[in-house]
Chains A and B, each alone.
Chain A
Amino acid sequence: MSANSANISASSAGSKKSLKTFSDDIWKNKTAKINAELFTLTYGSIVSQLCTDFERDFKKVNSHLSAMGYNIGVRLIEDFLARTALPRCDSFTQTSEVISKCAFKIFLNVTPQVGNWSSSKDTFSLFLDENPLSDFVELPMDAVKELWYSNILCGVLKGALEMVQMDCDVWFVSDVLRGDQNTEMRVKLNRIMKEEIPAGED
């Protein structure tokens, strides 16, 4: 079973259509499902607790959510690789496809649109038409300008990408919860990190 998936993934990573089929299959067959409301409400209770703990200093809440996400990301990447057996991506374009069609699909069952590429091809946006984290949520007046409610996702992506040697910045530029037209995350590749080699080898 797992040996097969390694072969499929190696051939499918290049093609968009099969990447979708490949991810659908993992979502259907290799992913344990939990109740969406339990998930959404658990996340909501974390964010609201942080708002209380930091006395409604939403900048601190944002950075805390991102730090929590980072710690999740460095672990989640292993789960992701164990399930998909995908190799490293050849290009940042391919990375964007794998994040949207594969990673978001497998863990959240949504497929954000990729777009808004920078001319140097090192920054792209993910447009979240659906966001399972923020169902039922309405931001209070004092939070609406400062809180990035789903900021944990930025940390998750940053942590996961760092583990595959990509140093990235990830941030939200808009969120429907703040009254914006859409929910948009930016992902910027700073550099590909060098792999370590044993001391004395260079």
Chain B
Amino acid sequence: MAIYSFWIFDRHCNCIFDREWTLKSNQSSGTTNSKQNEDTAKLLYGMIFSLRSISQKLSGEGSHNEIRTISTGKYRAHILCTASGLWFVLLSDLKQEDLSHVLRYLYSEIYVKTVVHNWFSPVDFAESDSEKRGQGVRKIRNRSFLANVERFLGPMVN
């Protein structure tokens, strides 16, 4: 079982959480992979956004047709889109056919309990209009959220 990375996008098209387990940080330059993740997040968002619009168009007017997984030659993307416009995305190896239960757990047991139920954490990460439509940079910082994600997904990484 291998999970490569985990991403959350909010309804303002912003990546509010990213965790990549496969990239090693560059020791010599001392930088982490955050810049690279920023670009990857945009590409990943774009891929899901496009496929999601296409799949909804093809299924006809008025019917729900949420995208669940996208398979490529090297990895599979598992996607949970909530009615409130959040996207939870896991990238895994091809052996993982369906991680929807894992995504659901991340949403209902981790995100809701450590971010939403924590009144001192924002639930809307865009503080102004200029941070909407994919222009925002704020991330989930709650320690208990980060720790819970690590504890839950860590054992599945390899």
What is the interface of chain A, defined by CB distance below 8 A to chain B?
Answer: 1-3, 6, 10, 74-75, 77-79, 81-83, 85-88, 90, 163-165, 195-199, 201
4 closest A-B pairs (Cβ-Cβ)? A82-B108, A198-B134, A2-B104, A199-B133
* B13:A198 contact, CB within 8 angstroms: yes
* B45:A198 contact, CB within 8 angstroms: yes
Whether a CB of chain A sits under 8 angstroms from the CB of B150 is: no
Q: List 29 A-B contacts (CB under 8 A).
A: A2-B101, A2-B104, A6-B104, A75-B116, A75-B117, A77-B84, A78-B123, A79-B112, A79-B117, A82-B104, A82-B112, A85-B104, A88-B83, A90-B62, A163-B11, A163-B84, A163-B85, A165-B85, A195-B85, A196-B11, A196-B12, A196-B13, A196-B132, A197-B49, A198-B13, A198-B46, A198-B133, A198-B134, A199-B135
Given contact pairs A6-B100, A74-B123, A87-B64, A195 touches B11 in the complex (Cβ within 8 A): yes
Report chain A residues within 8 Å CB of B93. Answer: none
A81 to B12 Cα, complex, angstroms: 18
B118 to chain A, nearest CB (A): 9
* B133:A197 contact, CB within 8 angstroms: yes
A198 to B45 Cα, complex, angstroms: 9
Cβ < 8 Å to A, chain B residues 100-151:
100-101, 104-105, 107-108, 111-112, 116-117, 119, 123-124, 132-135
Report chain A residues within 8 Å CB of B100. Answer: 3, 6
B137 to chain A, nearest CB (A): 13
Question: Can you name the residue of chain B whose Cβ is closest to the Cβ of A74?
Answer: B123
Please give the number of chain B residues whose Cβ is less than 8 angstroms from any Cβ of chain A in the complex.
32
Whether a CB of chain A sits under 8 angstroms from the CB of B82 is: yes
* A78:B112 contact, CB within 8 angstroms: yes
Question: Can you name the residue of chain B whose Cβ is closest to the Cβ of A160?
Answer: B84
Question: Can you name the residue of chain A whose Cβ is closest to the Cβ of B64?
Answer: A87
Whether a CB of chain A sits under 8 angstroms from the CB of B66 is: yes
Contacts A195-B11, A198-B45 known; list 16 others, CB within 8 Å: A3-B104, A10-B64, A77-B84, A78-B84, A78-B86, A79-B112, A79-B116, A83-B108, A87-B66, A88-B83, A163-B85, A196-B12, A196-B132, A197-B13, A197-B133, A198-B134
- 8 Å CB contact of B84 from A10, A164, A197: A164
A197 to B45 Cα, complex, angstroms: 11
A195 to B13 Cα, complex, angstroms: 10
Cβ < 8 Å to A, chain B residues 1-50:
11-13, 45-46, 49
Question: Can you name the residue of chain A whose Cβ is closest to the Cβ of B12?
Answer: A196
A97 to B134 Cα, complex, angstroms: 34
B124 to chain A, nearest CB (A): 7
* A74:B13 contact, CB within 8 angstroms: no
Question: Can you name the residue of chain B whose Cβ is closest to the Cβ of A3?
Answer: B101
Question: Can you name the residue of chain B whose Cβ is closest to the Cβ of A85?
Answer: B104
Report chain B residues within 8 Å CB of A199. Answer: 133-135
- 8 Å CB contact of B82 from A3, A78, A201: A78
Question: Can you name the residue of chain A whose Cβ is closest to the Cβ of B133?
Answer: A199
* A81:B83 contact, CB within 8 angstroms: yes
Report chain B residues within 8 Å CB of A88. Answer: 64, 83
A67 to chain B, nearest CB (A): 14
Question: Can you name the residue of chain A whose Cβ is closest to the Cβ of B121?
Answer: A75
